[in-house]
Structure 1
Amino acid sequence: MSIVDDLAAVYREHAAPGQAAAMRAYMRDQFEFLGIPSPLRRQLSRPFLKGDPLPVALACWELPEREFQYFACDLLARHARTLTPADLPTLRTLITTKPWWDTVDALAANVVGPVVSGDQTPMDAWAADDNLWVVRTAILHQLRYRATTDVERLFAYTRENRHHKDFFIRKGIGWALREYAKTDPAAVRRFVADHPDLSGLSRREALKNIGRDGEQP
């Protein structure tokens, strides 16, 4: 695919092995990096943010360096409104392939969220999935919804997964609640109070920016 080949040529011209080692260590040595910092990477990417996003994203996912997956996330976010629920299986493949919080969170909030904004029903099955990254995506997909958040769905996914043992699910629950608290802090405080069996991590994250009176400080 020429767009990916051309992108790769540009990226590799700007590889910085010293930076790559630090970036790899930050990601617990799970991925290879070229060592391109995010501001430069986005600058280099601008001419390539075009074309059919899903085939390009899939091709980027096959490359070893993580910067290509970051490009794919940016590309998909840019074209998210052109995607449909029929594309969710492909997005799920990306979420569950080379998964870690960096790409999963970007896809959840900036791609899956817009795709299902008209009908969030598919997220009900994702919230009950066996794959923790699919569950995290369901919990986080409304991060950008603000006043249009389906509150019952947000709270339902939290209730369903509040006993989950994984750190990333517990952290995701807290983050989703904290983000909605920017819209309705009193509702989040009530929900947390009504569910004393939330994990300590989820509770702390949810209430981090809420005052004692239930309002944002």
Structure 2
Amino acid sequence: MTTIQTLFRANRSVADSKPMEAYMKNQFPFLGIRATERKKLVADFLRENGMPDDLLRLVVELFAEEERELQYAAIDLLSRYGKKQASEAIEIYEQLVTTKSWWDTVDGLAGTVVSNHFKLYPDLIPIYNEAWINGDNIWLARTAILFQLKYKEETNAELLFANCEKWLGSKEFFIQKAIGWALRQYAKVDSEAVRVFVNSHTLAPLSRREALKHIGEA
């Protein structure tokens, strides 16, 4: 059986890998496989081999690989085919967030994989949100801030504002950006609530600018 790792490595492009690595600040080696081709290779793999018996085991293996596209492939698989995992899968997702952490994989996990899982098992939210937002791992905190991005009217605004408030003093760029992004997204639902929050708290300039990007100061 051809593994997904073998399939991806057979389709590497050295020429394309260099600018991809540079874009990601040379944090990780790349195979040079762009998103469209990556998703086609995942589809080819599934068509030839069928769904793996243990999807979570496969994605953990892919996150252990060096090449960044293999982590992206893991997120592709989870986003499309892993929507109804057992509640205990959150422990795996937490592990993935803290493995080779950078904004690209963390945002894919937070905005889709973790987001979908919490919708399926809302009782998990208070348990893991509290641990993540009160911990010292910025990527888990970012996940807590961002997991409601697509919830729209179903957003728990109290939780969103509390999560942002917890990290308002952070100097971390990725936290400041997450706060602004989360508030900007919720402003599409309740712009006045976001404006009130922003004007009643001291936000980093980046967070404030992002939060008010589409609604203005007034």
Q: Please indicate, yes or no, whether the TM-score normalized by the shorter chain is above 0.5.
A: yes
Q: Does 1:25 align with 2:27?
A: no
Any residues of structure 2 matched to 1:1-217 within 5 Å, and which? Answer: 5-48=2-45, 50-51=51-52, 52-117=54-119, 118-119=122-123, 120-121=125-126, 122-195=128-201, 197-213=202-218
Counterparts of 2:138 and 2:95 in 1: how far apart (Å)?
A: 13
How many residues matched? 209
Q: Distance in 2 between matches of 1:87 and 1:57?
A: 12
Q: Return the letter of the residue paired with 1:174.
A: G
The 1:150/1:48 distance shift into structure 2, 3 A limit, reads farther
- Identity across matched positions, percent: 44
- Report the AA paired with residue 150 of structure 1: N
In structure 2, the CA distance between the partners of 1:177 and 1:80, relative to structure 1 (3 Å rule), is farther
* Structure 1 residue runs of 4 or more that deviate by more than 4 Å after TM superposition: none
Cα deviation code 1:13-38 (max 9, x no counterpart)? 22110110111111111111110111
**Match for 2:152: what amino acid?**
R
For structure 1, list consecutive stretches of 5 or more residues without a partner in the other structure. Answer: none
Distance 1:66 1:39 in 2: 15
Q: Which amino acid aligns with 2:6?
A: A
TM-score (norm 1): 0.91
Q: Which amino acid aligns with 2:118?
A: V
Opposite residue 42 of structure 1, the aligned amino acid is K
Deviation at 1:80, TM superposition (A): 4.0
Bigger drift between 44-53 and 184-193 goes to 44-53
1:136 is aligned with what amino acid?
Answer: R
